[in-house]
């Protein structure tokens, strides 16, 4: 296993995620628009509790136990949910105002985020929150360990985990072994594909598209070892940012600030002082550190509510948007142009045809710019 | 294994062609690549209690004309699956160990067919996990499945080159075979292979 010098990481503050899927769309628009990628969402946002994407991925095995590789299951296309088109044209422009919004092809019974806002619990104490997920660019990537072709690499300079499509043979052992089920298969190219942590943007000092586009300011991006940066402080100093399913033993480098909840209310409508989201559920996701994290968030919040100062609250509020991105705060417009024609680069993420046209028209910067040009 | 010399290879490309009936058949026994040789712990763990590489044998016939060679492979597969596959191994030089997929000094040249409608792949291997695209050897394949059996003809140009296994009339060499059962999810090292090389008399 390669030893990387530094590790980039992401912290997602679940208290701020509004489930708008802007991140999902930003990523989809930037990276998975080609043929063979229709079903791919490198970034997903699911309602929790829920089945997740792919459906019931938490029951599909993989990862490690006591350091030993665990057998995993390959998600089927039905688990991901096939792409379908909605009848927007008929509904909005067809002159039939009471026509329901429906899939044009067949009747899908599952897709990413199918169980949106279902959640759990009984009225009036029902609850849910949103859980955005990308590849965790793990410290011990189960995907990389499983590949018989050594087609998966962890970049030395920043620990980003990438699939080398020149070496990949489409065997999909990686997709079985990843306990987060974050690897898709491109039938068209016969290779596995997954989140690349927007590395061509990082290389130019620009933060990930999902992070820049997020209207909730949910996502921090930076180096884990940057002691002055928000990531290091949230993960190590305050320990309020926790990895998802640490029991899979892959060492995820995406961390979550667990969600605080409103108090439960009793039959009379009076608050009971108990959190609505069961601690046991949050611990099943983020491990043992949840209680301490939530307690600290509550006590720090109380400090600011009475006029006091809290570095933690300031960090989480992130009044200055740019502070979320540390060394990656450049606007894509100001970044150097991407060297998309560099033949030495083994990572083929651009449709060569698209790339050529782009170069000819001198618009190759387009892939660096956030879709909405923010 | 004797290569029968023929005039013109074209009619032999069809695996169903009656011509093949007159050619000597050698049944090559196969065995599963041993579990300890699977290259990653993940694969060994996942397949430790799951049988693979159970195809017992492959029937082989070989003919050649002046320019090309044709291998006729026939094996029992039960069902027909998009990931059913077969490969022919030929030593490039030295004395490579088949089950090790060759080595740096003694590489192996493979011709891979898979039931996915894509062309035969020529690959060059210097050991397990090192396989990379091989030289252009004008490979071709036609396959036919009926009554639970695959019949497959793989062709290749005769001759030699730096990374091409030599196939020269009058010069004996060796050949090996591998079969993947797609319905059993077999791929990569999860396969049945001919335990050792067979002499190939051109
Ligand atoms: S989340 Fe899965 S795909 Fe991403 S690095 Fe970890 S094991 Fe690999
Ligand atoms: S863009 Fe931000 S707020 Fe919207 S779903 Fe994604 S992470 Fe949540």
Residue B165's domain is classified under what CATH number?
Answer: 2.60.40.1190
Kindly determine whether residue A148 and residue B45, on different chains, have CB atoms separated by under 8 Å: no
CB A366 less than 6 A from any atom of ligand 2: no
Nearest CA in chain B to A166: B132
Instruction: Give the model's pLDDT for residue A337.
Output: 57
Three-state DSSP class for residue B5: strand
Which H or E run includes B114? strand B108-114
pLDDT at A288 over 90: yes
Full-model pTM: 0.89
pLDDT at A362 over 70: no
Q: Where are the domains of chain A?
A: 8-84+111-330
Nearest CA in chain B to A74: B185
Lowest average pLDDT, out of B46-55, B60-69, B98-107, goes to: B98-107
In sign, the C-alpha dihedral spanning B125, B130, B135, B139 is positive
Lowest average pLDDT, out of A175-179, A247-251, B123-127, goes to: B123-127
Nearest CA in chain A to B43: A146
Domain region containing B43: 4-200
Give distance in angstroms: CA of A142 to centre of ligand 1.
Answer: 6
In chain A, % of residues over pLDDT 70: 89
B contacts of A148 (beta carbons < 8 Å):
38-40, 43, 128-129, 188-189
Task: Give me the number of domains chain B comprises.
Answer: 1
Instruction: Give the model's pLDDT for residue B133.
Output: 87
Distance CA A248, CA A62 (A): 8
What confidence tier does A357 reach under pLDDT thresholds 50, 70, 90?
Answer: very low
Residues A262-278 have pLDDT tens digits of: 999 999 999 999 999 99
In chain B, % of residues over pLDDT 90: 84
Give distance in angstroms: CA of A45 to centre of ligand 1.
Answer: 17
| Minimal C-alpha gap between A224 and chain B (Å) | 28
Instruction: Give the model's pLDDT for residue A342.
Output: 45
* ipTM rounded to 2 decimals: 0.91
Show which residues on chain B lie within 8 Å of chain A, measured between beta carbons.
38-43, 45-46, 128-129, 131, 187-189
Pocket of ligand 1 (CB under 6 A): A 135-138, 141-143, 161, 178, 180, 182-183, 194, 250
Residues A109-159 have pLDDT tens digits of: 899 999 999 999 999 999 999 999 999 999 999 999 999 999 999 999 999
CB A27 less than 6 A from any atom of ligand 2: no
CB A164, CB A346: distance < 8 Å: yes
Q: Which residues pair with B4 in a beta bridge?
A: B63
Domain A8-84+111-330 has CATH 2.120.10.80: no
Kindly determine whether residue A71 and residue B39, on different chains, have CB atoms separated by under 8 Å: no
Residues A307-342 have pLDDT tens digits of: 999 999 999 999 999 999 999 999 988 876 554 444
Tokens linked to A344: 């030495």
Residues B34-45 have pLDDT tens digits of: 999 999 999 999
Give distance in angstroms: CA of A139 to centre of ligand 1.
Answer: 9
| Minimal C-alpha gap between A8 and chain B (Å) | 26
Instruction: Give the model's pLDDT for residue A341.
Output: 44
Classify residue A228 as exposed, middle or buried by CB count within 10 Å of its CB (0-12, 13-18, 19+). Answer: exposed
DSSP state of A187: T
Mean pLDDT of B111-125: 92
C-alpha A201: how far from chain center: 16
Lowest average pLDDT, out of A21-30, A87-96, B76-85, B144-153, goes to: A87-96
Instruction: Give the model's pLDDT for residue B146.
Output: 94
Give distance in angstroms: CA of B128 to centre of ligand 2.
Answer: 43
Distance CA A212, CA A230 (A): 16
CB A17 less than 6 A from any atom of ligand 2: yes
pLDDT at A368 over 50: no
Residues A68-113 have pLDDT tens digits of: 999 999 999 999 987 788 888 888 888 877 888 888 877 888 999 9
Q: Does A248 touch chain B (CB under 8 A)?
A: no
Of A12, A17, A195, best ligand 2 pocket probe by most atoms within 8 Å of the beta carbon: A17
Query: Strands B198-200, A129-133: parallel, antiparallel or unpaired by DSSP?
Result: unpaired
Nearest Cβ partner for B189 among A68, A72, A148? A148
What confidence tier does B173 reach under pLDDT thresholds 50, 70, 90?
Answer: very high
| Minimal C-alpha gap between A191 and chain B (Å) | 14
Give distance in angstroms: CA of A119 to centre of ligand 1.
Answer: 26
B145 closest CA partner among B80, B86, B84: B80
Closest residue by CA, ligand 1 atom 2: A178
What confidence tier does B165 reach under pLDDT thresholds 50, 70, 90?
Answer: very high
CB A259 less than 6 A from any atom of ligand 2: no
Residues B18-31 have pLDDT tens digits of: 999 999 999 999 99
């Amino acid at each position: 296993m390669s030893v990387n010098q530094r590790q980039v990481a992401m912290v997602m503050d679940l208290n701020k995620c509004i489930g708008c899927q802007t991140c999902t769309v930003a990523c989809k628009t930037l990276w998975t628009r080609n043929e063979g990628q229709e079903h791919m969402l490198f970034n997903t946002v699911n309602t929790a509790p829920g089945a997740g994407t792919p459906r019931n991925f938490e029951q599909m095995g993989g990862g490690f136990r006591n350091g030993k590789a665990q057998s995993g299951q390959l998600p089927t296309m039905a688990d991901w949910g096939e792409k379908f088109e909605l009848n927007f044209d008929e509904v909005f422009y067809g002159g039939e105002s009471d026509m329901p919004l429906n899939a044009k092809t067949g009747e899908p019974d599952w897709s990413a985020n199918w169980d949106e806002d279902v959640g759990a619990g009984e009225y009036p104490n029902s609850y849910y929150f949103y859980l955005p997920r990308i590849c965790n660019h793990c410290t011990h990537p189960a995907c990389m360990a499983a590949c018989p072709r050594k087609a998966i690499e962890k970049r030395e300079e920043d620990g980003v985990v990438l699939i080398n499509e020149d070496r990949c043979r489409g065997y999909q052992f990686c997709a079985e072994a990843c306990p987060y089920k974050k690897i898709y298969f491109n039938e068209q190219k016969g290779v596995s594909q997954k989140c690349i942590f927007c590395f061509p943007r990082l290389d130019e000092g620009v933060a990930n598209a999902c992070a820049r586009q997020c209207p909730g300011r949910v996502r921090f991006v930076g180096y884990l070892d940057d002691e002055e940066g928000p990531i290091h402080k949230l993960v190590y100093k305050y320990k309020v940012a926790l990895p998802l399913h640490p029991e899979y033993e892959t060492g995820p480098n995406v961390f979550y600030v667990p969600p605080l909840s409103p108090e439960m209310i009793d039959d009379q409508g009076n608050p009971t002082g108990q959190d609505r989201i069961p601690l046991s559920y949050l611990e099943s996701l983020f491990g043992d550190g949840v209680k301490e994290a939530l307690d600290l968030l509550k006590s720090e919040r109380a400090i600011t509510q009475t006029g006091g100062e809290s570095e933690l609250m300031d960090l989480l509020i992130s009044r200055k948007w740019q502070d979320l991105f540390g060394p990656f705060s450049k606007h894509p417009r100001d970044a150097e142009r991407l060297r998309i024609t560099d033949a030495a680069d083994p990572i083929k993420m651009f449709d060569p045809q698209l790339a050529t046209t782009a170069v000819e028209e001198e618009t190759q910067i387009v892939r660096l710019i956030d879709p909405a040009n923010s | 294994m004797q290569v029968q010399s023929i005039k013109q290879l074209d009619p032999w490309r069809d695996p169903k062609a009656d011509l093949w009936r007159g050619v000597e058949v050698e049944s090559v026994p196969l065995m599963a690549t041993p579990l300890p040789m699977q290259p990653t712990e993940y694969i060994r763990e996942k397949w430790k209690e799951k049988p693979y590489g159970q195809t017992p044998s492959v029937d082989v016939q070989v003919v050649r004309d002046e320019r090309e060679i044709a291998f006729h492979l026939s094996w029992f597969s039960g069902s027909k699956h998009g990931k059913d596959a077969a490969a022919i191994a030929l030593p490039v030089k030295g004395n490579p160990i088949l089950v090790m997929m060759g080595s740096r000094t003694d590489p192996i040249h493979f011709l891979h067919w898979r039931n996915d409608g894509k062309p035969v792949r020529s690959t060059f291997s210097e050991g397990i996990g090192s396989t990379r695209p091989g030289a252009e050897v004008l490979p071709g394949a036609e396959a036919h499945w009926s009554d639970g059996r695959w019949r497959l003809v793989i062709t290749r140009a005769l001759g030699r080159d730096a990374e091409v296994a030599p196939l020269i009339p009058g010069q004996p060499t060796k050949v090996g075979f591998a079969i993947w059962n797609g319905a059993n999810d077999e791929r990569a090292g999860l396969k049945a292979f001919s335990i050792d090389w067979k002499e190939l008399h051109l």
